[in-house]
Amino acid sequence: MFDAIILWLHIVGAVVFVGPQVFLAAVALPALRTVGDAKLRQDLTRQITRGFGMLGGIALGLVILTGFYNFYQAQDDGLMDFKRYFMVLNIKMTLAIVVVLLTAAHGFVFGRRLQELMERNAPEAEIAQVRRYSMMTSMATLALSLFILLLAALLASNWSLQGGLR
């Protein structure tokens, strides 16, 4: 039962981390672009992204903590002896590290830089360039996060690298 709860927490963490990314990219940010008042748009964007940053950070931490437990459980269960499982899990963990690094860059580098530029009323071209890097980082994080979910499904399935079921 304990293992199932840990796996459930891992899945909940992933859902809470990835779901709002999709919502922000597909719904919230496009809607915010329709706000005519630049100051109001900045304030709303800052509030939404700050809230997501806190929620996403907690969810990502939960995924990492439960991921360590799941990794050790897979070792104890002998799953690492299966080449497919070992390879897919290692790709998944490597990409998870990349997602953590991209998330940190997005929040702590580009996010802070954007805030500084906006607060000092920097030229729009300078803000646009940092915003572009921020969006590319965010989209890469979302794409990798979705791919990690596919890898998680492969871990739980009978799929094989040679094709067919195993």
Contact 6, 70 (CB under 8 A): yes
Range of the domain at 47: 2-156
Domain contains 111? yes
The token pair that represents 155 in the structure block? 């871990």
Phi-psi region of 164 (alpha: psi -120 to 50; beta: other; left: phi over 0): left
Kindly indicate the confidence band of residue 1, based on its pLDDT and cuts at 50, 70 and 90.
confident
Q: Residue 58: inside a domain, yes or no?
A: yes
Domain contains 76: yes
pTM comes to 0.82
Query: Mind spelling out the 3-state secondary structure of 54-109?
Result: HHHHHHHHHHHHHHHHHHHHHHHCCHHHCHHHHHHHHHHHHHHHHHHHHHHHHHHH
- At residue 115, the 3 state secondary structure works out as helix
- pLDDT for the residue 104: 92
pLDDT tens-digit map of 83-117: 777 888 889 999 999 999 999 999 889 988 988 88
Exposure of 137 in the CB half-sphere (CA atoms within 13 A): 20
Residue 165 included in any domain: no
Contacts of 114 (CB under 8 A, 6+ apart): 127, 130, 131, 134
164, part of any domain: no
Whole-number Å distance between alpha carbons of 27 and 156: 31
Residue 114 lies in a domain: yes
Q: What share of the chain is helix, strand, coil (3-state, %, to 5)?
A: 85, 0, 15
Residue 166 pLDDT grade (very low, low, confident, very high; cuts 50, 70, 90): very low
Identify the pLDDT of residue 149: 94
Answer yes or no: is 19 within a domain: yes
* Percent share of the chain, pLDDT over 90: 44
Q: Is 164 helix (H, G, I), strand (E, B) or coil?
A: coil
Both tokens assigned to 30: 């496009």
Q: What is the pLDDT of residues 41-75, one digit of tens each?
A: 888 988 888 888 899 989 999 999 998 888 877 77
Predicted local confidence at residue 155, as pLDDT: 83
- Indicate whether 165 pLDDT > 80: no
| Cα atoms in the Cβ-side hemisphere of radius 13 Å centred on 145 | 26
Domain total for the chain? 1
The predicted model gives 137-155 an average pLDDT of 93
Confidence label for 142 from pLDDT (cuts 50, 70 and 90):
very high
The mean predicted confidence, pLDDT, of the chain is 87
Per-residue confidence (pLDDT) for residue 80, from 0 to 100: 65
